[in-house]
A and B are shown apart, each in its own frame.
Chain A
Amino acid sequence: MPEQHTTPQNSSVLVEIKDLRTYFFLAEGVVRAVDGVNLTVNRGVTMGIVGESGCGKSITAYSILRLVSPPGKIVGGDIFFYKVPKDGSSSQAEVINLAKVDPNGETIRNIRGNYISIVFQEPMTAMSPVRTVGQQIMEAIILHQKVDKKTAREMTIDILARVRMSNPERVVDEYPFQLSGGMRQRAVIAMALSCRPQLLIADEPTTALDVTTEAQILKLMRELQEELGMGIMYITHNLGVIAEMAQEVAVMYLGRVVEKTDVKELFFHPLHPYTQALLTSIPQLRDALTRQEKSRLNVIKGMVPDPYARLKGCPFHPRCPVMISGVCDEVEVPEIEAAPGHMVRCHLYTSH
C-alpha cells in the first residue's frame, strides 16, 4: 500500500526525494551510486541535474521509476510522488512513496509511462528494431488510456505530428532503423509524452545528437512543456543546455546533491568549489579565438575517486582547491541554506 506522507501538501510539488540511497552490491564492493539525495521537482518547472559521469544523476532518475535492477537496490530514503488523478475527479494529490512500492507491482506500472515518463540518452537503441514505431508507441496508449487499436493509432499519429515529425501517417508504420537519429529521438519523445505525463525525466536526451538537431529537440521540449504543463527533470553534463532549459538546478557529485538553486543564481553566484570549478572548465569560443597563445582549459584536478572507497567528510575534499585540513576530510557536511533558496553542501559555509 502507498504510504501516507504527513508533511503539509503543497500543490506545486510533484516529486520530493528525501535522503535517497541507491547502492549497487557488486563482488568488488558496494558502490554508493546515490548516497543521500534530497531533491524537489515542481509542476511545470524544469529541474536541471548536472554532474560528471558516474555522479549518480541517472541512477536517481531510474530510482524514481524503480528501474534500478539487481545488483542495484534502493536501501534508504523516500521518493514521494504527488499523484493528482488525470481524470480530474479530484484536485487533491494522492501521495505515493515510490521508494517503498513493489518494483514490478501494479502501482508503479500505472505510474510508469502514464504519470512519469523517461527519455533516454540513446535514441538508436531506445526502440526495438523489429517492431514499428507505431506499435511501440500505441502499446503505452492502449495500456494506460484503455482505448481500442484504431483510436490508439490515431492518437499515435497525432502525437507524432505534435513532436513535428514529418509525415506521421507514414512514420507510424515504419521501423526505427528507417528514421534518422533526430527523428528517432522525436519518436522516443512522442512515446514518452503519449499519455501526457505529469513528470518527464530526460536523461541526456540530446547527447547523441548533432548540435542543430539538439537545438530543435530542446525547443520542442520547451514548447511541449508549455502545452502540457509538465515538470521536467533534465539530466545532463552540459551546462549550456542547463542554461537553456532549466529554471532550477541541482549539481551532483559522488551520489549527492552538493548545490541546489535557481539557474541564474547558480551561474552568477556559484557557492560550492565544485560548481565553481565546473563553470570555469567550460570552453569559451570567444576566449579561445581572441587569445594569442593557445591556453589550456581549466580542469578540475584529480579524478573521481574509486567508486568502492568511502571518503570521510566531504567527498570532494581530495580535489578541492580550498580544502580545510582537519575539517573537510573529517567532518560530514550538512546541507546549508546559504541564501534564500540556495542550498549548498560545503564546510566553507558552516561554522565547521
Chain B
Amino acid sequence: MVNYILMRLLRMIPQVLIISVLAFIIIQLPPGDFLTERLNRLRASGYTVDEAEVQRLTKMYGLDKPMHLQYLKWITNIVTKGDFGYSFVFSKPVNEIIGSRMGMTFFIAFLAFVVCWSFAIPVGILVAVKQYSVVDYFFTFLGFIGLAVPGFLLALVLMYVSYSWFGLKVGGLFSQEFQTAPWSWARFVDFLKHIWLPVIILAIGGTANLIRTLRATMLDELRKQYVTVARAKGLSEFKVLMLYPVRIAINPIVSTFGWLLVWFFSGGTVVEIVLNLDTAGPVLWRALMNQDMYTAGAYIVIIGTLTALGSLISDLMLAALDPRIRFGGLEVS
C-alpha cells in the first residue's frame, strides 16, 4: 500500500508539469498579448502611446523573448518562489488576487460537496431499493430537473424568488456593511445567510447526477446472488444493504470524488458572476477576456493540480475500499 501511494505521488509530478505547459500554451494561443491588447485599446480611444514606454514594459515582462524562455521564467518563479506573476488587469501580484479569493472558493466548493454527498448517497440508495415507487419517481423527476436546468438560470430564479417573496437580498457573499469588515460573529452569520444559495445551486447538478449513478449501480448490485446469500444468513435488511450492495455501489461515487471537487471549484463561474460572488470564477473569466495571462495561467495550473490531487485521493479511497484494486494495482509485494 505504501508503495502504491508513493508511486501515485511520483506520477503526479510529470502530470502537473504537463498541465503547466498546456496551461501556458493555452493562454498564449490567442493572437497578441496583454500589452498589444492594451495599446490597441488606448490607440482606439485616441491616445498617443509612448514607444519607449512600450519597450520598457515589453522588456520587463520578457514578452520579446521566445515562448519556451517565457515559460521557463514563469514556472521557475512558481516552483521556487510560489510567485504566479503580475496581473495586468488588476495591477496587483497574482498571488494577492488569488489568495484572497481562493479560501472562499474552496470553502464554498467544500460545502457544496458535503451537501451533495450527504444528500445524494442516502437518496440514491433509497430510490434503488424502492425502485418504481412514488419516492423513486419523485426523485427521478427532481433529478432530471436538476440535471437539465443550468445553474445560472436556477440562480436567477432563486434570487428573484427570495427577493420578491421573502425580501432577501442574496447576491454577493456579504451584506454591504460587512463587505470589508474584519471577521466577527455577526459577519460570519451574515456570510452563512449569503452562502447557502450558491452552495445549493452548485450542489444541485452534481447531486442529481450522483443519485442517478448510485441508483443504477445499486440496482445492478441488488440483483447479485451475494445479496440473497447475506439475507439468508439472517442479517437485518439494513445490514444486508450496507455491508453488501452499498459497499460496492459506492465505488463509482468515490472514483468521481476528484472531479466533483474541481467541478464545484471551477464549474460555477457563470453562477458566481450572476450572484456577484467574490470567488475565483469571475476573476478567471475577466483574466481570460483581457488576456491577463499570468492570472489565467495561475488558475489553470491550480485547477489542473487540484484535478490531479483529487484523482489521487479518489484512487487511494478506492484502493482502501476495494481489495480487487489493491491487489491488482501497482503493489506487487
Residues of A that sit less than 8 Å from B by CB: 65, 67, 104, 109-114, 117-118, 120, 122, 125-132, 139-140, 143-144, 175, 177-178, 188, 191
A-B CB contact pairs (8 Å), 12 listed:
A65-B232, A67-B231, A113-B232, A125-B225, A126-B225, A128-B247, A131-B247, A139-B233, A144-B234, A175-B324, A178-B327, A188-B229
Query: In whole angstroms, how far apart are the Cα atoms of A130 and B236 in the complex?
Result: 20
- List of 3 A-B pairs having minimum Cβ-Cβ separation, nearest first: A112-B234, A113-B233, A113-B234
A120 / chain B contacts, CB cutoff of 8 Å: 225, 228-229
Mark interface residues in B241-282 (1 if CB within 8 Å of A CB, else 0).
001100110000000000000000000000000000000000
Closest chain A CB from B9 CB (angstroms): 25
Closest chain A CB from B272 CB (angstroms): 39
Most buried by A among B225, B243, B247, B322: B225
Using CB atoms, name the residue of chain A closest to B326.
Answer: A175
Closest chain B CB from A156 CB (angstroms): 13
Residues of B that sit less than 8 Å from A by CB: 224-226, 228-237, 243-244, 247-248, 321-324, 327
Q: How would you classify the secondary structure of chain B's contact residues: helix, strand, loop or mixed?
A: helix
B224 touches A111 (CB 8 A): no
Question: Of A114, A122, A132, A175, which contacts B225 at CB under 8 A?
Answer: A122
A110 touches B234 (CB 8 A): yes
Closest chain A CB from B251 CB (angstroms): 9
A175 touches B323 (CB 8 A): yes
A118 / chain B contacts, CB cutoff of 8 Å: 229, 232
B224 / chain A contacts, CB cutoff of 8 Å: 125
Query: In whole angstroms, how far apart are the Cα atoms of A119 and B237 in the complex?
Result: 19
A129 touches B234 (CB 8 A): no
Query: In whole angstroms, how far apart are the Cα atoms of A237 and B243 in the complex?
Result: 33
B247 touches A130 (CB 8 A): yes
Q: With contacts A128-B226, A128-B244 known, is A143 near B323, CB below 8 A? A: no
Closest chain B CB from A197 CB (angstroms): 11
Question: Of A67, A178, A188, which contacts B228 at CB under 8 A?
Answer: A67
Question: Of B228, B235, B243, B327, which contacts A109 at CB under 8 A?
Answer: B235
Query: In whole angstroms, how far apart are the Cα atoms of A167 and B143 in the complex?
Result: 50
Closest chain B CB from A74 CB (angstroms): 16
Closest chain B CB from A352 CB (angstroms): 43
A131 touches B231 (CB 8 A): no
B243 / chain A contacts, CB cutoff of 8 Å: 128, 131, 139
B248 touches A128 (CB 8 A): yes
Query: In whole angstroms, how far apart are the Cα atoms of A56 and B247 in the complex?
Result: 32
Question: Of B229, B232, B248, which contacts A129 at CB under 8 A?
Answer: B248
A177 / chain B contacts, CB cutoff of 8 Å: 323-324
Closest chain A CB from B89 CB (angstroms): 51
Query: In whole angstroms, how far apart are the Cα atoms of A178 and B234 in the complex?
Result: 26
Question: Of B229, B231, B324, which contacts A126 at CB under 8 A?
Answer: B229
Query: In whole angstroms, how far apart are the Cα atoms of A177 and B326 in the complex?
Result: 13
Question: Of B232, B235, B321, which contacts A67 at CB under 8 A?
Answer: B232
Query: In whole angstroms, how far apart are the Cα atoms of A126 and B236 in the complex?
Result: 18
B244 / chain A contacts, CB cutoff of 8 Å: 128
Query: In whole angstroms, how far apart are the Cα atoms of A236 and B225 in the complex?
Result: 18
B234 touches A130 (CB 8 A): no
Q: With contacts A125-B225, A129-B248, A130-B324 known, is A143 near B231, CB below 8 A? A: no
A109 touches B229 (CB 8 A): no
B229 / chain A contacts, CB cutoff of 8 Å: 118, 120, 126-127, 188, 191
Most buried by B among A118, A128, A175, A191: A128
Having A109-B234, A110-B234, A122-B225, one finds 10 other A-B pairs with CB under 8 Å, namely: A65-B232, A113-B234, A117-B232, A118-B229, A120-B228, A125-B224, A130-B322, A131-B247, A139-B235, A177-B324
B236 / chain A contacts, CB cutoff of 8 Å: 104, 109
A140 touches B234 (CB 8 A): yes
Closest chain A CB from B65 CB (angstroms): 55
A130 touches B232 (CB 8 A): no
Closest chain B CB from A150 CB (angstroms): 20
Q: With contacts A128-B226, A129-B248 known, is A112 near B232, CB below 8 A? A: yes
B226 touches A126 (CB 8 A): yes
A129 touches B225 (CB 8 A): no
A130 touches B228 (CB 8 A): no
A114 / chain B contacts, CB cutoff of 8 Å: 234
Most buried by A among B236, B247, B323: B323
Query: In whole angstroms, how far apart are the Cα atoms of A253 and B65 in the complex?
Result: 87
